[in-house]
């Protein structure tokens, strides 16, 4: 049964998703509850726990999720890891501190050994974390759930660690054993649909799908494996659960537009104005200030980049965010300036559609 959620006091995120008028663009950041925040680092030190344990503790996950509330974001994303739902399948990553899998998954037998599961029984701590955040917010802000996309999860499983550049084992399995790779994607896609719906039942207001290795997937592989998976996931989500698709660097925006996602979170080199025009009012956009600029630029640089991004998007159907997650070396002053500038910049008139 779905949790009872109080009416939202700040509904900018949902209004932007639905292309409704907003006084200003909603703003949040990927990895906003993370290492760039001194409060998070201090909390980690006080807690004295590994990431593995923090992810599984609703008490700690709730407190960490809520840290960005103090600097004015318009949504809270649950503090969790994209690898967490792989553990009940039988793939337990250890964080030392980077995630590592003792036995990478590279054969038909490895795929066959993965065990389907009910997230309500195996991942109850995530539902508890969601309900805890919702209870603390009491309708003040919307809550976002998320999942790693199946191809990205497959890359972690096959490489046995963060895929990094190249994904040699992943692409080799895809090319040499496409039936095995396809079978793995099928299992992970079914799991992801159940996992995101499970979060929706717990009360999140929207979900995001992270295709974090999207910039390394050749187009033919994307068309054969990624696109069908994305379309199946978004078609399989429960009614009234808006979904955001993040594909790192968005190399194939035309395919993203066909995914069925309500919002496309796009890279720094993708035009928000053009994406909105191509979406024809059916698809909102998210992004796309360069996370490297936040890490290396001055507060004035950040302010200028935010204003330029907001102006390009044109004031409707836009959620301000980054092109990727916050980097740990980002000066916290720049994080604050990013949010402050967004909050102080009123929505502009919609930009004219590009000609051509």
Per-residue model confidence as pLDDT tens digits over 255-292: 999 999 999 999 999 999 999 999 998 999 999 999 99
Does the residue 351 lie in any domain? no
| pLDDT exceeds 90 at position 251 | yes
Does the residue 2 lie in any domain? no
Dihedral sign computed on CA atoms, order 241, 323, 277, 314: positive
Spell out the alpha helix ranges (H) of 117-177: 119-122, 124-137, 150-159, 168-176
Task: Write out the E strands in the chain.
Answer: 76-77, 93-95, 99-101, 143-148, 206-211, 243-247, 263-265, 284-289, 318-322
Does the residue 81 lie in any domain? yes
pLDDT of residue 93: 92
Q: pLDDT tens for residues 106-150? A: 999 999 999 999 999 999 999 999 999 999 999 999 999 999 999
| pLDDT exceeds 90 at position 354 | no
Max CA separation in the chain (angstroms): 57
pLDDT of residue 4: 58
pLDDT of residue 95: 86
Would you place residue 164 in the very low, low, confident or very high pLDDT band (cuts 50, 70, 90)? confident
Whether residue 45 contacts residue 342, with contact meaning beta carbons closer than 8 Å, is answered with no
pLDDT of residue 98: 87
pLDDT of residue 221: 97
Would you place residue 5 in the very low, low, confident or very high pLDDT band (cuts 50, 70, 90)? low
Does the residue 4 lie in any domain? no
Per-residue burial over 228-248, b if 16 or more Cβ lie within 10 Å, else e, is ebbbbbbeebeeebbbbbbbb
Q: pLDDT tens for residues 336-353? A: 999 999 999 999 754 434
pLDDT of residue 352: 39
- Among 181, 325, 314, smallest CA distance to 246 is for 325
Q: pLDDT tens for residues 6-56? A: 789 999 999 999 999 999 999 999 999 999 999 999 999 999 999 989 999
Please give the Cα distance from 234 to 209 (Å, whole number). Answer: 9
The domain containing residue 218 runs over which residues? 12-344
Q: pLDDT tens for residues 170-220? A: 999 999 999 999 999 999 999 999 999 999 999 999 999 999 999 999 999
The enclosing domain of 217 has a CATH number of 3.20.20.210
Does the residue 40 lie in any domain? yes
Q: pLDDT tens for residues 217-232? A: 999 999 999 999 999 9
Q: pLDDT tens for residues 235-246? A: 999 999 999 999
Mean of the pLDDT values across residues 147-171? 95
Does the residue 353 lie in any domain? no
pTM: 0.95
Average pLDDT over the chain, rounded to an integer: 94
Please give the Cα distance from 124 to 185 (Å, whole number). Answer: 24
Does the residue 350 lie in any domain? no
State the Rg of the chain over Cα. Answer: 19
Higher per-residue pLDDT: 165 or 30:
30
- Give the chain's domain count: 1
Does the residue 356 lie in any domain? no
């Amino acid at each position: 049964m779905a949790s009872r959620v109080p009416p939202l006091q700040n509904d900018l995120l949902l209004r932007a998703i639905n292309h409704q008028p907003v006084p200003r663009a909603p703003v949040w950041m990927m990895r906003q509850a993370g290492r760039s925040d001194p409060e998070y680092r201090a909390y980690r030190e006080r807690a004295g726990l590994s990431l593995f344990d923090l992810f599984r503790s609703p008490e700690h996950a709730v407190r960490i999720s809520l840290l960005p509330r103090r600097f004015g974001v318009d949504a809270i994303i649950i503090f969790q890891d994209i690898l967490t739902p792989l553990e009940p399948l039988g793939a337990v990553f250890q964080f030392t501190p980077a995630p590592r899998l003792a036995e990478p998954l590279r054969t038909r037998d490895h795929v066959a050994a993965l065990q389907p599961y009910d997230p309500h029984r195996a991942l109850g701590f995530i539902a508890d974390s969601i309900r805890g955040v919702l209870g603390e917010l009491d309708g003040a802000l919307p809550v976002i759930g998320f999942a790693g996309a199946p191809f990205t999860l497959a890359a972690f499983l096959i490489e046995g660690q963060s895929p990094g550049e190249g994904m040699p084992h992943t692409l080799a399995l895809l090319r040499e054993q496409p039936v095995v790779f396809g079978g793995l994607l099928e299992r992970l896609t079914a799991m992801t649909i159940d996992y995101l719906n499970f979060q929706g039942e717990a009360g999140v207001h929207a979900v995001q799908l992270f295709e974090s290795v999207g910039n390394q997937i050749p187009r033919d592989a994307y068309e054969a494996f990624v696109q069908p998976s994305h379309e199946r996931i978004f078609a399989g989500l429960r009614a009234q659960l808006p979904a955001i698709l993040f594909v790192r660097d968005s190399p194939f925006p035309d395919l993203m537009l066909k995914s069925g996602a309500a919002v496309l979170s796009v890279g720094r080199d993708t035009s928000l104005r053009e994406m909105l025009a191509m979406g024809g009012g059916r698809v909102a956009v998210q992004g796309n200030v360069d996370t490297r600029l936040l890490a290396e630029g001055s507060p004035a640089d950040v302010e200028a980049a935010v204003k330029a991004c907001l102006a390009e998007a044109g004031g409707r159907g836009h959620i301000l965010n980054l092109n990727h997650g916050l980097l740990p070396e980002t000066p916290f002053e720049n994080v604050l300036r990013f949010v402050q500038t967004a909050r102080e910049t009123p929505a502009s008139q919609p930009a004219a559609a590009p000609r051509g």
